Amino acid sequence: MKALVLEEAGKISLRDIDIQEMLGSDDVRIKIHSVGICGSDVHYYQFGKIGNFVVTEPMVLGHEASGIVMEVGSSVKDLKPGDRVCMEPGIPEPNSKAVMLGMYNLDPAVRFWATPPIHGCLRETVVHPARFVFKLPENVSYNEGAMAEPLSVGLQAVKKAGIKPGDTALVTGCGTIGLVTAMSALAGGCSKVIITDVIQEKLDIASEYGITPVNVTKQNVVDKVNELTGGWGVDIIFEASGNESAIANIFDPLCPSGTVVFIGMPVQPVPVDIVAAQAKEAVIKTIFRYAHVYPRALELMASGKIDVKPLITDIYKFEDGVKAFEYAANPRPTSVKVMIEME
């Protein structure tokens, strides 16, 4: 089948690839329709690795996907050919301890699309376990369905944060993940959400959602937080940038006994000021992908509580996939999510 293949760092091609996938009794065969380009895809494209995950042989990219069911296994009852679906890209070992404890995203043996050596979904068809395939609501498009993956990251962060109605939050980083986290925090009960970045065009997009933007090249974030919270600080900080400078002072805008949730992944280990955290008895939490939130993501999009459509800023056809990655590696400031449509 045709696929977008990362041959090595800096080299991607659209070519035929032989991937043999047998349809098991609990599986679904899906024709791919839409795939979003994630920051991790771009990072693999540019550098060939993320941390300990290293591309050592050609690998199909992509893990944010939607499509249409072509065929179902004999034991699948809730899906049928023709269903419009999106797919959760991580497949854990079904009998692992992490799965038994309900935290399947932390299974050490999880097979996650486009994480070496697992092929991703930027190809014509995939076979996937039915339990990780979700019907799209009638009013949710294929492109929005592909956005369920990054939105689930934001929802996982909000779930871990334990938001109380009326809380104030700060999100550092106004990329796709920062934006969907801010939107999720508002949907989850925050009365006010502040977001920071250095790119004004992205902050302008955030302001359209009722999120308070702070350009850190022009404003001091602590001063702005103090202005908006009467000097108390925000209840929750979501660190979505992975930027060392943002992490260095992450506790400064936090209120006493507030919570910091680390979402962004720095390229290299970065220092964290433990004393600053102790002085406020800060609660520190982390997330790794998501678990049990895809249905919530779809319900929030279907209800209109979260609208991801304005975040889909650039659309490429599959045959132009190489150009899509070249663009995603050096996008316009107004770009948020680059989407590839297979048809």
Residue-wise pLDDT for 197-250, tens only, equals: 999 999 999 999 999 999 999 999 999 999 999 999 999 999 999 999 999 999
β-pair partners for 193: 169
User: Do the domains 153-286 and 2-147+308-341 match in fold?
Assistant: no
Mean pLDDT of the chain: 97
* Confidence category of residue 99, pLDDT binned at 50, 70, 90: very high
pLDDT at 189 over 80: yes
> What is the tens place of the pLDDT at every residue in 311-325?
999 999 999 999 999
* Confidence category of residue 103, pLDDT binned at 50, 70, 90: very high
Q: Could you give the C-alpha distances from 94 to 9, 103, 105, 126, 218, in angstroms and in order?
A: 33, 12, 12, 19, 50
Write down the domain spans for the chain. Answer: 2-147+308-341, 153-286
State how far the Cα of 25 lies from the Cα of 172, in Å rounded to an integer: 44
pLDDT at 53 over 90: no
pLDDT at 23 over 80: yes
* Confidence category of residue 50, pLDDT binned at 50, 70, 90: confident
Could you list the beta-strand ranges (E) of the chain. Answer: 2-8, 11-16, 27-37, 49-50, 53-54, 59-60, 64-72, 84-87, 90-91, 111-112, 125-129, 133-135, 168-172, 192-197, 212-215, 234-239, 254-262, 283-286, 312-317, 337-341
* Confidence category of residue 343, pLDDT binned at 50, 70, 90: confident
Residue 100: what pLDDT?
96
Mean pLDDT of 51-59: 91
Residue 240: what pLDDT?
97
Mean pLDDT of 255-283: 95
State how far the Cα of 179 lies from the Cα of 72, in Å rounded to an integer: 35
């909000």: which residue's tokens? 158
Nearest CA to 209 out of 197, 227, 224, 195 is that of 195
Rounded to the nearest angstrom, the gap between the alpha carbon of residue 65 and the centroid of all alpha carbons in its chain is: 12
* Confidence category of residue 26, pLDDT binned at 50, 70, 90: very high
Q: Could you give the C-alpha distances from 224 to 97, 176, 216, 218, 230, in angstroms and in order?
A: 45, 23, 10, 11, 10
> What is the tens place of the pLDDT at every residue in 154-170?
999 999 999 999 999 99
Return the DSSP state at 72.
Answer: E
Query: 153-286: which CATH number, 3.40.50.2020, 3.40.50.1980, 3.40.50.720, 3.10.350.10?
Result: 3.40.50.720
Residue 183: what pLDDT?
98
pLDDT at 135 over 90: yes
* Confidence category of residue 38, pLDDT binned at 50, 70, 90: very high
Mean pLDDT of 40-47: 94
> What is the tens place of the pLDDT at every residue in 240-265?
999 999 999 999 999 999 999 999 98
Mean pLDDT of 99-118: 96
pLDDT at 267 over 80: no
Residue 266: what pLDDT?
87
State how far the Cα of 239 lies from the Cα of 245, in Å rounded to an integer: 11
Residue 28: what pLDDT?
98
Residue 268: what pLDDT?
83
pLDDT at 94 over 90: yes
- What is 2-147+308-341's CATH superfamily? Medium-chain alcohol dehydrogenases, catalytic domain (3.90.180.10)
